Amino acid sequence: MLGIARSTVQDNLKRAAMAGLSWPLASDLTDDVLEAKLFVHPGVKQGQRLRQEPEWGPLSIELKKPGVTLLILWEEYRSAYPDGYGYSRFCELFRGFEKRLSPTMRQEHVAGEAFKFQRIENTLCLHIGPRP
């Protein structure tokens, strides 16, 4: 016994028949190719979007400026691409882009210029020399 539901086996047999696969499988058939044949979605190409996407990097920089909102950026995007994404999908894609960004902040520290002492509650920063 494999512990697989009968309906799962039947579903996979239907998928194999629709893909034109038969047993034994070809020796050069990789797992990725097999998965692509069994779980294909007609009319949808993998890794391609149907609408033109903006450059998310410059948009995230623009959004940091005072008075700039996602709504304003979306309106500019739609004026350039009238068949582009709606506002909610635009925001969803932008938030997805933001999640992929690295949250680290690079700081250059010159030796002897500042001393930082950190406690659990707060951070005390002691500057030695003239303040920048």
One digit per residue, the tens of pLDDT, for the chain of length 132 reads: 678 888 888 888 888 888 888 888 888 888 888 888 887 765 555 566 778 888 888 999 999 999 999 999 999 999 999 999 999 999 999 998 888 877 776 777 777 666 555 554 555 555 566 655
- Both tokens of residue 68? 């700039």
Neighbouring residues of 90: CB distance < 8 A, sequence distance ≥ 6: 70, 74, 77, 84
Q: What is the reported pTM?
A: 0.46
Contact by Cβ (8 Å): 122, 109: no
End-to-end Cα, the chain, rounded Å: 73
Q: What DSSP string runs through 103-127?
A: --------TTTEEEEE-SS-EEEEE
Contact by Cβ (8 Å): 51, 85: yes
Give 62's Cβ-side CA count (13 Å radius): 16
Is there a cis peptide before residue 132, judged by omega within 30 degrees of 0? no
